[in-house]
Amino acid sequence: MNYDVVIVGAGAAGLMCAATAGLRGRKAMLIDHNDKVGEKIRISGGGRCNFTNIFAAPENYISNNPHFCKSALKRYTQYDFISMVEEHNIAYHEKTLGQLFCDNSAKQIIKMLLDACEKGGVDIKTSTSVDEVIKTPTGFELVIKSGVKVSCNSLVVATGGLSIPKMGATPWGYGVAKKFGINVIDTNAALVPFEVSGFKALAGVSIKGVEVSCNGVVFKEDMLFTHKGLSGPSILQISSYWNKGDSITINMLPDINLIDELSKQKSENPKQDINTIISKFLPKKLSAYMCEENNWQGKIGELSNKALQEIVMKISGWKITPEGTEGYRTAEVTIGGVDTDEISSKTFEAKKVKGLYFIGEVLDVTGHLGGYNFQWAWSSAHAAANSF
């Protein structure tokens, strides 16, 4: 059981790395404790896999070292992966904001990667945990199930973060880093809904194109009220920049000059109730909620200009302090991870430990919502697989 490389973790990054290494003629083994490979690929994008984004660039990533991702993203771009998809005749389409999805099924991406692994002669072991990692003079020795030992020159950790534990997420990769004295940045759930009490009556109400801001960062996408609080793309995006205790600011009508519209309604429809007027711009349930919560009542013609200004300020600058997030259970990704200052941005090898590599989400690199995290998986995996 001797290999040039063993990759632990058969998610997006692990599959890509194994396939690339195998096709380069490396004797590779891919190990995963789940009984199936690529499970997060399978469930992503509603089962159609948002496999990349045509706008993928370093500014779409969060890291304590924002420069770290630049090299890999430049050397293996979204267009390189798109070419791979096209070569395998997988039909795809672009949705909003440059997001690319399979026309049919995410399983096509998994099959594409597995076919490449098969072509490269990769030995894939599922339902297999790695119980021990031992450094040897020539590489590593792994103890897997039933005490079987596997040796390799290079070891790649592609075990991801802590998001969606029911899909098999574990802190194993962080444990390996710590074992070898590599720093791990504190982790947290990211791209995750907020928990805010008091919105049960609004559950299911959505608003298009709201602007949500926090800590100087703004996202303009849709928002959804849930039984637990707030979700939707704009909320998931801003959650990556939110810290416990922070408030978020929501502009529900960023594309409308609301004071002009209300002034016009006051002039043209003075006898209409303010709730009726606001419901022309916001969903009826939300309009009723805002009027009740803020005691906005009466005919619009009877409201002062100051009162109208206050309504505008609330709708365009609604401050909410979430009690928390839904946590790793529903988070799409994990923010934080293996400290990139300890990893080569060119090869993804640990600077302290020859032959030890970290790729994908296990690293302190987190993409925005919309295919960016998959692109990071492809790019980081490709860079590592071409360096051993």
Say if CB 230 and CB 193 are below 8 A apart.
yes
pLDDT single digits (tens) 196-255 = 999 999 999 999 999 999 999 999 999 999 999 999 999 999 999 999 999 999 999 999
Q: In terms of residue numbers, what domain contains 233?
A: 193-325
Residues 297, 342 within the same domain: no
In the listed set 325, 360, 375, which residue is the last one of a domain according to the structure?
325
**Residue 38 pLDDT greater than 90, yes or no:** yes
Query: What is the count of structural domains for the chain?
Result: 2
Which whole-number Å values give the CA distances from 45 to 31, 68, 167, 296, in the listed order?
25, 27, 15, 40
Residues 273-296, mean pLDDT to the nearest whole number:
97
Contacts 24+ apart (CB under 8 A), 275-281: 278/311, 278/315, 281/253, 281/256, 281/315
Query: Across the chain, what does the average pLDDT equal?
Result: 97
The mean pLDDT value for 284-288 works out to 97
Q: Judge if 246 and 361 occupy the same domain.
A: no
pLDDT at 146: 80
Residue 344 lies in a domain: yes
Are residue 76 and residue 205 in the same domain, yes or no? no
> Is residue 181 domain-shared with residue 265, that is, in the same domain?
no
Q: Does 173 share its domain with 201? A: no
Band (284; pLDDT cuts 50, 70, 90):
very high
Q: How many residues does the chain have?
A: 388
Residue 197 · residue 233 · CB < 8 Å: no
Shared-domain flag, residues 89 and 25 = yes
Q: Are 175 and 211 in the same domain?
A: no
Is residue 171 very low, low, confident or very high in pLDDT (cuts 50, 70, 90)?
very high
CATH of the domain at 183: 3.50.50.60
We report the CATH number of the domain holding residue 252 as: 2.40.30.10
Can you give the pLDDT at residue 353?
Answer: 98
**pLDDT of 250:** 98
The verdict on residue 330 lying in a domain is no
Examine the pLDDT at 261 and tell me if it is beyond 90. yes
pLDDT of residue 77: 98
Q: Specify whether 26 is located in the same domain as 116.
A: yes
pLDDT at 187: 98
One domain for residues 147 and 250: no
Q: What share of the chain has pLDDT > 90, as a percent? A: 99
Res 108 pLDDT > 90 = yes
Task: Tell me the β-bridge partners of 251.
Answer: 211
Q: Does any domain span residue 204?
A: yes
Verify that 222 and 273 share a domain, yes or no. yes
Q: pLDDT value at position 264?
A: 96
Is 348 within the bounds of a domain? yes
Residue 213 sits in the same domain as residue 176: no
Name the band, by pLDDT with cuts 50, 70 and 90, for residue 23: very high
Task: Confirm whether 49 is domain-assigned.
Answer: yes
381 lies in some domain: yes
- Token readout for 93 is 């389409």
What's residue 1's pLDDT? 86
Q: State phi, psi for 206 to the nearest 5 degrees.
A: -125, 155
User: Residue 79's pLDDT is what?
Assistant: 98
Segment 359-381 shows an average pLDDT of 98
Q: How confident is the model at residue 145 (pLDDT cuts 50, 70, 90)?
A: confident
Per the domain annotation, does 331 fall within a domain? Answer: no
Residues 180 and 269 in one domain: no
Q: Residue 357 domain-assigned?
A: yes
Q: What is the mean pLDDT of residues 280-284?
A: 97
